[in-house]
Structure 1
Amino acid sequence: MTSLPFWQLLLALIGLLVVGHILAWWIWRALVFSGPVLGRGISGMAKRRRLLHWFQRRLPATSHFVARRLAVDRFSGLPLTLMAALAVYLMFLGGGLLEDLFEGEELTAFDQQVNAALSVLRDPTFLKLVGIITALANLETLIAITIVATGFLWADRRSRYIPGLLLTVIGSQTITYIGKYAINRDRPDFLTFATASTPSFPSGHATGAIAVYGFIIYAIARDLPGARQRFELAYWGCALIAMIAASRAVLSVHFASDIAAGLLVGGFWLLSGFALTEYLNERGVGRIPPGG
């Protein structure tokens, strides 16, 4: 299949980013306006429903635990509950992906079809741009960014963020490389200038991108004053992560399922880093007093 010209591919990428920005902003506004109302509604149900009143009288300890898990005024309440539920969901998705990889040929056939379809994107000039994007998640690049981010967090007197960052990066990379050599999946045929020596599943670039850049986005966005500022940082940061992940398939060094698995692994450990950081923030751990 012949690749599209560079200018068409570049315009398509820009158009995709612009349309995605518009849609994401609509979704963001809906979440910002409806999230607090929904959270108060969920937590308030424990006070209004007769069945839960009966539950509180009969099982006070259990009902107290449930009420704390649904509280919206602290991180250890509803936010942590939703975060834990999402982490469990990511684990189930990863398990299902592994099952499909080991037990069926449908996933392999799908990966091959996607890899073949991406040939329309493999214009030599466009591949140079893709190569620059993918280099942003090379292992040495991610290590350097993690070190620099750690230094900035310490200098900005936010040392309580550092354990979460290190947990996210070390945990995600450890599981990724254990998975690579335990599963030992062959890479796709190298159809471009890019090559790789490690096994294919999961994608270390996808894992590292969502873990490192995701945590940095969170650390910056958390203290931004406006919702629009947080949205812009989150959107363009997520767009960068998505482009890095997609670049691995375009360069034909990973299958689509490798990338999906990498994002799941990185996403799980990113949530773990969020949870640890918010726990430390809530407890006031690691705060360096001014002049300290």
Structure 2
Amino acid sequence: MTTNTAAADFGAVLAQHPVGWWLAGMGAFALLGMVALQGLRALRRASPPLHRLLPRLEARWLMLVAMGASACTLVMAGATMAALAESGRTQGPWGALDDAVTMALRDRADTAVLQGFAMLTHLGDTWVLTALTLAVAGALWRQRRRLLATGWLVAMAGNGALTKILKNVFERVRPEHLHGIAQADGYSFPSGHSSASMVAYAMLAYLATRLLPRAWHLPAVVAAGMLIFTTGWSRVVLQVHYPSDVLAGWLLGATWMVCTVVVMESVSRWRSTVGRHMKLA
């Protein structure tokens, strides 16, 4: 059996049980959230690296400069996304999987299932996440959490800009979706809903670890994982994106979000260390 045939067969299996795979995917992403939480706690126990490298740079500007430098890690994610896009163009394994899932869903998806996912997909709509961005930023600013507010805005705006740039670079046409229950325009790769929901809900979980008691941390990351998978999977079920579009969106959003969190954690530790030194002086 060739790789392409295996990918096509697996895609057909995915399309036969969209609700079952949705439940399984939410569970898997919830587990990933738990792993990420443990990694974040390990990072917080480590020494602040930016304090050692740049002890005199003002913290606010340090974060912005470091955010630009950390974006260089997106090169690796970009290479992976380019491989996904190339596989789709040349009918490689991902291209076979994309076509198999999309065609099987087009033939078999139940109308009630499509209508349900058409409601869930609003979790990643631009107007929903824009309202969320402004509300969270305003609340953080009123509470004088300006580092968190700045990081939140940089994460959301930066991801939006990167997604738009990459869509114009790859110029992939969306799959044909004729059911009329959901519509989407513009280029397909990477999925903007997937990348934006990854950043928004993962960042909200991160903010919960900064602002809420420890008992709320695990529920926050579990909920974030479930919402992220739900948004991305809804785009596949509705046939407005290929699976590789969604995977690329998750990869983009996760990479940018991790860069943001690492810098924010480093700057936060740097500021607290410098503050202690100033009090002692």
Normalising by structure 1, what TM-score?
0.68
Within the alignment, does 1:137 sit opposite 2:144 as a pair? Answer: no
In structure 1, the partner of 2:209 is: 221
Structure 2, unpaired ranges of 5+: 1-11, 52-65, 273-281
Contact 1:215 1:273 in 2 (8 A): no
Counterpart of 1:182 (choices 148, 152, 169) is: 169
Deviation at 1:104, TM superposition (A): 4.9
In structure 1, the partner of 2:31 is: 24
Q: What code does the residue aligned with 1:113 have? A: A
Contact 1:163 1:276 in 2 (8 A): no
In structure 1, the partner of 2:262 is: 275
Structure 1, unpaired ranges of 5+: 40-70, 286-292
Q: What code does the residue aligned with 2:227 have? A: L
Percent sequence identity over matched residues?
26
Counterpart of 2:46 (choices 56, 67, 72) is: 72
1:247-271 per-position Cα deviation (integer Å, ceiling 9, x unaligned): 0000000001111111111112111
Q: For residues 105 and 9 of structure 1, what CA distance do their matches in structure 2 show?
A: 23
Q: What code does the residue aligned with 1:212 have? A: A
In structure 2, the partner of 1:115 is: 102
Counterpart of 1:171 (choices 158, 163, 167) is: 158
1:209-267 per-position Cα deviation (integer Å, ceiling 9, x unaligned): 011121111111234333x5312210111111100000000000000111111111111
The alignment's C-alpha RMSD in Å is 3.7
Q: Mark the structure with the bigger radius of gyration.
A: 1
Counterpart of 2:233 (choices 246, 252, 264) is: 246
Contact 1:169 1:212 in 2 (8 A): yes
Deviation at 1:76, TM superposition (A): 4.6
Q: For residues 176 and 276 of structure 1, what CA distance do their matches in structure 2 show?
A: 21
Counterpart of 1:127 (choices 110, 114, 123) is: 114
Q: For residues 108 and 146 of structure 2, what CA distance do their matches in structure 1 show?
A: 43
In structure 1, the partner of 2:185 is: 197
1:50-91 per-position Cα deviation (integer Å, ceiling 9, x unaligned): xxxxxxxxxxxxxxxxxxxxx9233659xx9xx999866534
Deviation at 1:28, TM superposition (A): 4.2
Deviation at 1:171, TM superposition (A): 1.5
Contact 1:167 1:272 in 2 (8 A): no
In structure 2, the partner of 1:209 is: 197
Relative contact order (alpha carbons < 8 A, sep ≥ 6): 1 or 2 greater?
Answer: 2
Within the alignment, does 1:158 sit opposite 2:135 as a pair? Answer: no
In structure 1, the partner of 2:55 is: none
Deviation at 1:144, TM superposition (A): 0.8
Q: For residues 201 and 35 of structure 2, what CA distance do their matches in structure 1 show?
A: 23
Distance 1:200 1:223, change over 3 A: same
Q: For residues 186 and 261 of structure 1, what CA distance do their matches in structure 2 show?
A: 15
- Paired residues in the alignment total 239
Contact 1:9 1:121 in 2 (8 A): no
Q: What code does the residue aligned with 1:24 have? A: L
Alignment of 1:2-81 (within 5 A): 12=20, 16=24, 20=28, 24=31, 28=34, 32=38, 72-74=46-48, 76=50
Q: Secondary structure at the match of 2:234?
A: helix
Distance 1:91 1:140, change over 3 A: same
Deviation at 1:99, TM superposition (A): 4.0
Distance 1:174 1:224, change over 3 A: same
Q: What code does the residue aligned with 1:207 have? A: S
In structure 1, the partner of 2:60 is: none
Q: What code does the residue aligned with 1:16 have? A: A
Distance 1:74 1:85, change over 3 A: farther
Normalising by structure 2, what TM-score?
0.71
